[in-house]
């Protein structure tokens, strides 16, 4: 359930892709992970369980959002360690600073996940981020540059979607141009297509000891209105904004709302299985 790239006029440049992502998440920051849906924090804890920060270690958390993985990492390293949490969305950075007020060894700064600043870190971690980046390989090379010799890199990414929800996403974007419709499917090509392809890609980029663990997390919402409230609060906001800009949102809301009411009656509630991979590698 990530952010969908614009496909309106030609192919967007890397700067346009970044600007689009930053704008969406900056506007979503006030409600991101704040609408009563258990999603980003459990996944953040899952990532930190894989990167396993130890007291005194130095952690770089890129694309930190509101701190779902940065804050538990800071709690793990303690005051003898340090966490630098970066995000290109200024509002997200401000939210992390407020949330980490009692963790002075956690610094939150505006920063590009694809080009992190110089430094040496024991851990680089990225939660549900890498598929947004214009150049995955540029980021991977940079993470190797800033990691200590015995450091580790961990990141989460989406696995197979819950097929029961495909009709919902199809109905949501039905009125949009084909190249702007949201997709609930796993990419057919590239490293995010499967765990095997991700491992092969990392190995080709010079990473070693690559392992992946998978979390199956059940996500629940109360009703159709709650689902839309949650969708406004994260990356799917981009799709809703496209619909709103074309005066198509009300029709999509009604169409999807009817589907969700039917699903709730049939299944006894609204829930889906989020499959999330956590991959760990060494430089």
pLDDT digits (tens, 9 = 90+) for 126-181: 999 999 999 999 999 999 999 999 999 999 999 999 999 999 999 999 999 998 88
193-236 pLDDT, tens digit each: 999 999 999 999 999 999 999 999 999 999 999 999 999 999 99
Per-residue pLDDT tens digits for 19-47: 999 999 999 999 999 999 999 999 999 99
Task: Output the DSSP codes for 162-200.
Answer: -GGGHHHHHHHTTTS-GGGS---SPPSSSGGG-HHHHHH
The alpha carbon dihedral of 233, 238, 243, 247 has a sign of positive
Q: Is the pLDDT reported for residue 8 higher than 80?
A: no
Region 56-84: what's the mean pLDDT?
98
Rounded Cα distance, 164 and 11, in Å: 31
Question: Average pLDDT, stretch 261-271?
Answer: 96
Tell me the pTM. Answer: 0.93
51 contacts 125 by C-beta, under 8 angstroms: yes
Reported confidence tier of residue 6, pLDDT bands at 50, 70, 90: very low
78-82, 135-139, 184-188: the lowest-pLDDT one: 184-188
Instruction: Provide the 3-class DSSP secondary structure of residue 272.
Output: strand
In this predicted model, which residue has the larger pLDDT, 218 or 1? 218
Confidence band for 11, pLDDT divided at 50, 70 and 90 = confident
Rg over CA atoms, the chain: 19
Q: Give, as one character, the DSSP assignment of residue 31.
A: T
Nearest-10 crossing angle of helices 90-99, 70-77 = 40
Longest dimension (CA), the chain: 55
Q: What is the pLDDT of residue 4?
A: 39
Determine contact, residues 215/190, Cβ cutoff 8 Å.
Answer: no
Tokens of 153: 């890199």
Chain segment 88-133, per-residue pLDDT in tens: 999 999 999 999 999 999 999 999 999 999 999 999 999 999 999 9
Looking up tokens 């097929």 gives 163
pLDDT at 7: 35
d(CA 130, CA 136): 7
Residue whose tokens read 């709690």: 75
- The predicted pLDDT at position 144 comes to 97
For 14-161+187-220+274-282, the fitting CATH number among 3.30.70.250, 3.30.420.10, 3.30.450.90, 3.40.50.150 is 3.40.50.150
Band (pLDDT 50/70/90 cuts) for residue 10 is low
- The mean pLDDT of 250-279, rounded to a whole number, is 97
């Amino acid at each position: 359930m990530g952010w969908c790239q614009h496909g309106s006029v030609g192919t967007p440049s890397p700067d346009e892709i970044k600007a689009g992502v930053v704008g969406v998440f900056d506007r979503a920051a006030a409600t991101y992970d704040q609408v009563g849906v258990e999603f980003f924090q459990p996944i953040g804890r899952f990532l930190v369980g894989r990167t396993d920060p130890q007291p005194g270690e130095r952690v770089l958390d890129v694309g930190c959002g509101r701190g779902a993985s940065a804050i538990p990492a800071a709690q793990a390293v303690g005051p003898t360690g340090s966490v630098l949490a970066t995000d290109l969305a200024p509002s997200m950075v401000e939210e992390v600073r407020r949330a980490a007020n009692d963790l002075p060894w956690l610094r939150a700064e505006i920063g590009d996940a694809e080009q992190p600043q110089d430094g040496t870190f024991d851990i680089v971690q990225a939660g549900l981020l890498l598929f947004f980046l214009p150049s995955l390989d540029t980021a991977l090379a940079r993470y190797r540059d800033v990691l200590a010799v015995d450091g580790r890199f961990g990141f989460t990414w989406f696995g197979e979607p819950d097929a029961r929800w495909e009709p919902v996403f199809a109905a949501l974007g039905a009125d949009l141009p084909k190249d702007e419709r949201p997709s609930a499917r796993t990419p057919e090509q590239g490293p995010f297509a499967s765990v095997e392809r991700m491992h092969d890609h990392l190995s080709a980029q010079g990473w070693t000891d690559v392992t992946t663990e998978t979390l199956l997390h059940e996500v629940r919402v109360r009703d159709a209105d709650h689902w839309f409230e949650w969708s406004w609060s994260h990356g799917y906001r981009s799709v809703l904004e496209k619909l709103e800009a074309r005066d198509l949102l009300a029709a999509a809301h009604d169409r999807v709302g009817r589907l969700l009411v039917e699903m709730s009656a049939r299944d006894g509630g609204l829930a889906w299985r989020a499959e999330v991979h956590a991959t760990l590698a060494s430089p």
